[in-house]
Amino acid sequence: MSETMKAAIFVEPGKMAVEEVPKAHLEKDDDVVVRVVRACVCGSDLWYFRGLSDHPRHSQIGHESIGVVEEIGSEVTSVKPGDFVVLPFPYSCGKCPVCKAGFESVCPHGGYFGASQAEYVRVPEADGTVVKVPGSPEDYDDATLASLLTIADVMSTGYHAAASAEVKPGDIAVVMGDGAVGLCGVLSAHMLGAGRIIAMSRHEDRGALAREFGATDIVAERDQAAIDKVLEMTGGYGADAVLECVGSKQSFDTAIGLIRRGGVIGRVGLPHDVEISAEGTFYGNIGIKGGPAPVRHYDLHAGLLDAVLKKEINPGRVFTVEFDLDHIQEAYEAMDQRKAIKSLIRF
Amino acid sequence: MSETMKAAIFVEPGKMAVEEVPKAHLEKDDDVVVRVVRACVCGSDLWYFRGLSDHPRHSQIGHESIGVVEEIGSEVTSVKPGDFVVLPFPYSCGKCPVCKAGFESVCPHGGYFGASQAEYVRVPEADGTVVKVPGSPEDYDDATLASLLTIADVMSTGYHAAASAEVKPGDIAVVMGDGAVGLCGVLSAHMLGAGRIIAMSRHEDRGALAREFGATDIVAERDQAAIDKVLEMTGGYGADAVLECVGSKQSFDTAIGLIRRGGVIGRVGLPHDVEISAEGTFYGNIGIKGGPAPVRHYDLHAGLLDAVLKKEINPGRVFTVEFDLDHIQEAYEAMDQRKAIKSLIRF
């Protein structure tokens, strides 16, 4: 294939580039190739951009995008060229017991995208993976396109935190993390009817968006001071549900400290040095659930796609800056330096 | 007080006695005193009987009983002398957010009984603790009294394992442990509609009762062989739900090995040296829930009391031998030596 496309390349920690690479193409009969319309940078991309976790150097990256189907493999039946689709960050068969139980993100036949910050992307197992959107991108305003982009990962991940934490109407929910996922966790807790939503945030812009998304209280304290504060706010009993959207030991230990006995911690932050006490959680009847978010399940079966299309929710508000692909370095830096909550890439 | 009563005494590992002790009496205004009609020995009592865990020597013990209210404190409003009651092993205020959420067993104002293998027992916080049964013990046959006794702990604990594991209609459930709790877990998974119930058992009598309670398969293998067997039985995907009713590292690790991705382990076995991998559970989206069973909640709000009274379930079948209090040593030995599944004490 002599055709090429532009793609973001992770060169080394702190350094991104844009290069011409072979254009994404069909490799298997159940693949589709999608022309990307919007992509973005994920908080999890910052781990290797900051050199805090390993990632192959000089490799394509990105796992959140929406776009238009360009080509389909011979076995694909659910979409055709020209269809508008959301691409969940996990791909999945859609047919096995794990997928049928609503956990496509851990489908043993699936995997994760790693090349969607690019003009085109190959989608494996398309029929079990893509989320079809009515019409075409031109039918939607920029705000709706931004919100559709969030249900490829960040909004669905926030929802997984809330659903895993078993947020129920009237609950007191605490959200650990004020990044885009945490903010979407606030919105999700609100969707599930939480009566009081306490967002842990010490950044004014994020706290403001948390309030817009439904937070009733903002707590700036950390560690024991944060635990004391939440216990004081809850008559000493703690929060019914905690959405753990960070993944650090510090955040998890705080979650354990402020959860009510019998409560559930829903965790979506990739765990780094987290330790779970088998005894402590048992004698407090504390539940621990969560993991990589089954995006497609929530988009289609928990109503996220519908809610975005009906403008009932506007999770795209987490994108506070926007770049073209040529400025991918700036897109990463804006998030790394906390100048932006989340960077959108427009094609 | 010069009145005395007979009570079981834990003398030292391997040795029980019956002694005359001061009769249980009201200490607080929200106490009641109950005349015990049936009590029993718990698998958890064997830990210190066997010298495997610490317990104060020469102390009264027992935490499962049913009986008749003898005296009530001045603040008690929900029962009167002569009422027939089940005494859940945890006592609880019944009014705080933890109790209202259905987790009376970890009520911060409550605690655990430790003296109900005796002719009389004092029940603290009676209004938030006891489960009233219509009529009097004389109205019921022995089988029903035995089943009522199980909803003071063992049946409710098995139910907590199943409810915590989120057993749903059609699920494949695995039950770790073939003691009385595990067997009640089988019955509970059956009540919740599991389509296939795999009981881990290598004792013929227990396996037979597991089948009577709804088990569809018995697996005698252990460790990796047990994991391999269940994976083979489930097309390689594992069980939707695991009821962990043992609490050992061996049992928990086996549970982790055979749970389906996205599944939940409901644990009720007191953890001994169990380790929970924060990463392993996260990347498999494995949920971990459970702890001491909120007995009263399940008795009243999950229908256990009704199901026993209507003879829809017969969990009392776990009692395979029966003693009077004077033979408490034999009651412990029968379980310790695995001659009995569970020993009932008749007064």
ipTM: 0.96
- pLDDT higher than 60, residue A335: yes
Interchain proximity A103–B261, CB inside 8 Å: yes
pLDDT score at B65: 98
Interchain proximity A98–B262, CB inside 8 Å: yes
Interchain proximity A278–B275, CB inside 8 Å: yes
Interchain proximity B284–A278, CB inside 8 Å: no
pLDDT score at A113: 82
Nearest residue of chain B to residue A101 (CA atoms): B262
Every domain of chain A and the residues it spans: 4-153+295-346, 157-290
Confirm whether B4-153+295-346 and B157-290 share one CATH topology: no
- CA of B278, closest CA in chain A: separation in Å? 6
- CA of B268, closest CA in chain A: separation in Å? 8
Strand, coil or helix: A243: strand
The architecture CATH gives domain A157-290:
3-Layer(aba) Sandwich (3.40)
Indicate the residue of A235, A240, A262 with minimum beta-carbon distance to B106: A262
Q: What is the mean pLDDT of chain A?
A: 97
pLDDT score at B108: 97
Cα Rg for chain B, rounded, in angstroms? 20
Q: What share of chain A is helix, strand, coil (3-state, %, to 5)?
A: 35, 30, 40
Interchain proximity A283–B289, CB inside 8 Å: no
Interchain proximity B98–A287, CB inside 8 Å: no
Interchain proximity A97–B291, CB inside 8 Å: no
Whether the CB-CB separation of A61 and A82 falls below 8 Å is answered with: no
CB contact set of B287 (below 8 Å; sequence gap of 6+)? A164, A287, A288, A289, A290, B166, B263, B264, B265, B281
Interchain proximity A252–B278, CB inside 8 Å: yes
Structure confidence by residue, pLDDT tens digits, A112-166: 988 999 999 999 999 999 999 999 999 999 999 999 999 999 999 999 999 999 9
> Which positions in chain B have a beta carbon within 8 angstroms of at least one beta carbon in chain A?
96-98, 101-103, 105-108, 164, 234-237, 240, 252, 260-264, 267, 270-271, 274-279, 281-292, 294
Q: Which two tokens stand for residue B41?
A: 């020995």
Interhelix angle B180-191/B204-213, nearest 10 degrees: 20
Q: Which residues in chain A touch residue B235, judged by CB atoms under 8 angstroms apart?
A: 97
pLDDT score at A114: 85
Indicate the residue of A96, A235, A282 with minimum beta-carbon distance to B237: A96
Average pLDDT for residues A182-203, to the nearest whole number?
A: 97
> Which positions in chain A have a beta carbon within 8 angstroms of at least one beta carbon in chain B?
96-98, 101-103, 105-108, 164, 234-237, 240, 252, 260-264, 267, 270-271, 274-279, 281-292, 294
Indicate the residue of A97, A290, A294 with minimum beta-carbon distance to B260: A97
Indicate the residue of B98, B261, B282 with minimum beta-carbon distance to A271: B282
pLDDT score at A280: 96
Interchain proximity A235–B106, CB inside 8 Å: no
- pLDDT higher than 60, residue A1: no
Interchain proximity A292–B285, CB inside 8 Å: yes
Return the residue in A289, A295, A296, A301 with the most chain B beta carbons within 10 A, the one to mutate for interface testing: A289
Return the CATH superfamily for domain B4-153+295-346: Medium-chain alcohol dehydrogenases, catalytic domain (3.90.180.10)
Which residues of chain B carry a pLDDT beneath 50?
none
Interchain proximity B285–A103, CB inside 8 Å: yes
Q: Which residues in chain A touch residue B255, judged by CB atoms under 8 angstroms apart?
A: none
Interchain proximity A105–B283, CB inside 8 Å: no
- CA of A276, closest CA in chain B: separation in Å? 6
- CA of B56, closest CA in chain A: separation in Å? 20
Structure confidence by residue, pLDDT tens digits, A228-272: 999 999 999 999 999 999 999 999 999 999 999 999 999 999 999
Interchain proximity B282–A291, CB inside 8 Å: yes
pLDDT score at A59: 95
- CA of A145, closest CA in chain B: separation in Å? 29
Q: Any bridge partners for residue B5, and if so which?
A: B21
- pLDDT higher than 90, residue A104: yes
Interchain proximity B271–A285, CB inside 8 Å: no
Indicate the residue of B236, B284, B294 with minimum beta-carbon distance to A291: B284
pLDDT score at B53: 86
Interchain proximity B278–A281, CB inside 8 Å: no
